[in-house]
Amino acid sequence: MCGIFGIVKEHEGPLGETLVGAARRLAYRGYDSVGCATIDASGKIDLRKDVGKIDEVNERLNFNEMRGQRGIVQLRWATFGSPSQENAQPHLDSDGDLVGVHNGNIVNHVSLRDRFLAEGMTVRSANDGESIVHAVEHYVDRGETMVDAIRAAAQDLQGDYALIIASNDVTGSDGALHAVKSGSGLVVGIADGATCVSSDLPSILPITNKIIRLQDGEMVSLWPDRIELRRLSDGEIIEREPEVFTEGMEAAEKGGYAHFMEKEIHEQPKAAAELIHWLSASPFVPQFLDALSSARHLYFVGCGTSYHACMIGAAYFNRIANIPASPVLAPQFTETLAPILTSDDAVVFVSQSGETKDVLNALKVVRPTGAKILGVLNVIGSALMHLSDHYLPLACGYEISVPATKTFLNQVVLFLYLADKLRVHGAKIDWDEIPEIIERTLVSTKEVAREAANILNPYDEMYYLGYGLTLGVAMEGALKLKEITYAHCEGMLSSEFKHGPLSAVHDGYPILFVTAPDDAAMMVNHINEVACRGGRPIAIACEDGLLRKHVREYIPLPDVGQEIATLVAVLPLQLISYHMSIERGIDPDFPRNLSKTLTVD
Ligand code: AGP
């Protein structure tokens, strides 16, 4: 997830070190390229950028020596356009008079780019961030002031983003930095003789703790001694007093949450919205769909959480798109299925990190068979990205906590989105509604998930049961519980329970059933097998009178159909694990013995 920072100082002087310091503070968000621009008192712009980590790019380009009165730095996490020097930010307008950066996605950038080219502008990259600069250029060229040009440009830019832009004009009211918040975070800092603006607090706090948080639909202009906050829609000035931030740096990085896991759970509506925006505008999606729909057989291959997403993805493709698809654990795929592949098959390799050795081993044995290699990954620039014939990003930004949460949800969102595009059964999904349904589920299950965690917490071994589409969800919930509570939890098919594990049931023994609406009647049979032996069934399901009658506790999902209920059912399971982990005094972000990226066999 990109990060942006800008600063305006009273006197021209060394700015490079300040920008590098801010970039280091933004680095935890994840990035693959970095760039700085400074503007001196005469309006001269110095722009340096490249692919790589801050310190190595700094060593090559010497950001530290950059001087000026205004400065901008951007860390880019590639989504539109590969990680490259030309796609790195900041970007200039056609004549090099404006310089700007953004964070987020400009989803209509392909059509905007065509428009800019038709207007004779110089477009230098494939990156959507360049569109913000040309969108402003368009209005500046027609004689608008920077403020009015930015307000007008914001009407042309679609997507969730925040931007910072400046002109080399140092006359009149300019000599300012301007920033817009439209969906992505933006905070202003007010110091003595300087003001600054950033994607988030960690890069501002070493400079000042006097901050103003922007709301969506607002823009701010910054000078060394004052700021002007206004509404984008009508230009009306907004008065807002700065607040004094008293918490420490770690709290700032966690955005007010106690742990990264909690933060990442709550980022899911936003992460899904960004992915859906991206998918709807990406030229890579049609290529990916072609490869999927022309395959004789699809295999979904991954490990751990990514494998559970594969289980749900394959089931979506079978049921929705009528395409034969099988989920397989990566090492098992290497040993049993890879040898029988042909060039008519396609394999979807799924990995948050894109570096999991088990997954890369499987990929290596697929290459000689001629089967299509498709990648789904979160980390841009990873080995999986480079080794795939086609890849799609999960667009989640950096996931710090070891337990995967937002990347799992976005894996499932992505598979449902692709299956929906190839749909032959059932009604199309309204994708605009999905982020709100995710948000609603988080809000409505919050308390009841905490109560369920209290019920489960005294037990050190338990079962989560799913059926059909929800089997992968139950298994993912069980993995999350094992990972961060150190309890044993088995996720399995509810109909298999009677074939052995039923003997574990005793008085009061809790068992969690994850159910999608069409399976409620079948699930009631499986619930009864447990209930009549003294077990304590807990259901996660959309509202269903029959189910409710047969369980002790009910965690209700919004009233959505089979496919979307499967997608959101994982949210209360993530919350249950999180609460139990805290109750047990475990740090959920860094559970013992585990690592975020497993590059070993
Ligand atoms: C998930 O919470 C785990 N940390 C783990 O199972 C993980 O999903 C697995 O190691 C695969 O990682 P990947 O998605 O980066 O390939």
276-329 pLDDT per residue, tens: 999 998 889 999 999 999 999 999 999 999 999 999 999 999 999 999 999 999
Q: Flag whether pLDDT at 530 surpasses 90.
A: yes
In the chain, the percentage of residues whose pLDDT exceeds 70 is 98
Query: What region does 501 belong to: left with phi over 0, alpha with psi -120 to 50, or beta?
Result: alpha
Q: Whose CA is nearest to atom 10 of ligand 1?
A: 304
φ, ψ of residue 39 to 5 degrees: the values are -125, 125
Token pair of 373 as six digits: 């290699």
Q: pTM for the whole thing?
A: 0.76
Work out the percent of the chain whose per-residue pLDDT is above 90. Answer: 82
8 A C-beta contact, residue 187 and residue 211: yes
pLDDT category at 185 given cuts 50, 70, 90 is confident
Is residue 497 predicted with pLDDT exceeding 90?
yes
Check residue 184 and give its pLDDT: 82
Residue with tokens 């709301």: 215
Q: Considering the chain, what is the average pLDDT of its residues?
A: 93
Asked whether the beta carbons of 195 and 211 are under 8 A apart, the reply is no
pLDDT at 141 over 70: yes
The owner of tokens 């399995």 is 492
**Which 3 state secondary structure label does DSSP give 515?**
coil
Is the model's pLDDT at 1 over the cut of 70?
no
The residue that leads in pLDDT, 514 or 184, is: 514
pLDDT of 509 strictly over 70: yes
Query: What separation in Å is there between the alpha carbon of 271 and the centre of ligand 1?
Result: 18
Question: Residue 100 C-alpha to ligand 1 middle, in angstroms?
Answer: 36
Q: DSSP assignment of 145-204, as one string?
A: -HHHHHHHHHHH--SSEEEEEEES--STT-S-EEEEEEBS--EEEEETTEEEEESSGGGT
Mean pLDDT of 264-287: 93
Name every residue whose Cβ is closer than 8 Å to that of residue 137 and which is 6 or more positions away in sequence. 93, 94, 97, 98, 121
pLDDT at residue 246 is higher than 90: no
Residue 468 confidence class, pLDDT cut points 50, 70, 90: very high
For atom 8 of ligand 1, which residue has the closest CA?
Answer: 305
Buried b (16+ CB within 10 A) or exposed e, 63-101: beebebbbbbbbbbbbbbbebbeebbbbbbbbeebbbbb
Average pLDDT over residues 251-264: 87
pLDDT at 104: 85
Residue 590: what pLDDT?
87
In this structure, the residues whose C-beta lies within 6 A of any atom of ligand 1 are 303-306, 351-353, 356, 359, 402-404, 483, 597-598
What's the pLDDT tens digit per position in 398-413? 788 999 999 999 999 9
596 CA from centroid of ligand 1 (Å): 7
Q: Which two tokens stand for residue 262?
A: 């909690």
pLDDT digits (tens, 9 = 90+) for 22-61: 998 888 766 789 999 999 999 999 999 999 989 999 999 9
Q: Is 70 exceeded by the pLDDT of residue 251?
A: no
Q: Which residue has the higher pLDDT, 247 or 286?
A: 286
The SS3 assignment for 78 reads coil
- pLDDT tens, position by position, 65-105: 999 999 999 999 777 778 899 999 999 999 999 999 999 88
pLDDT in tens, 212-245: 989 899 999 999 999 999 999 999 999 999 999 8
Over the Cα atoms of the chain, what is R_g? 25
Task: Please identify every residue annotated as catalytic.
Answer: 2, 596
Which ligand 1 atom sits closest to the C-alpha of 302?
Answer: 16
Which of 303, 382, 405, when mutated, tests ligand 1's pocket best, judged by the most ligand atoms within 8 Å of its CB? 303
Cα separation of 493 and 386, whole Å?
36
What atom in ligand 1 is closest to the CA of residue 304? 6
Q: CA of 204: how far to CAs of 208, 214, 263, 398, 478, in Å?
A: 6, 14, 20, 20, 39
List 71's β-bridge partners, or say none.
7, 38
Q: Which of 259, 254, 376 is nearest to 310 (CA)?
A: 376
Chain segment 150-176, per-residue pLDDT in tens: 999 999 999 888 999 999 988 766 789
Half-sphere exposure of 228 (CA within 13 A, CB side): 13
Q: Quote the tokens at residue 233.
A: 């829609």
Handedness of CA 432, 433, 437, 443 (dihedral sign): positive
Q: What is the mean pLDDT of residues 140-157?
A: 96
Q: Would you say residue 563 has pLDDT above 90? A: yes
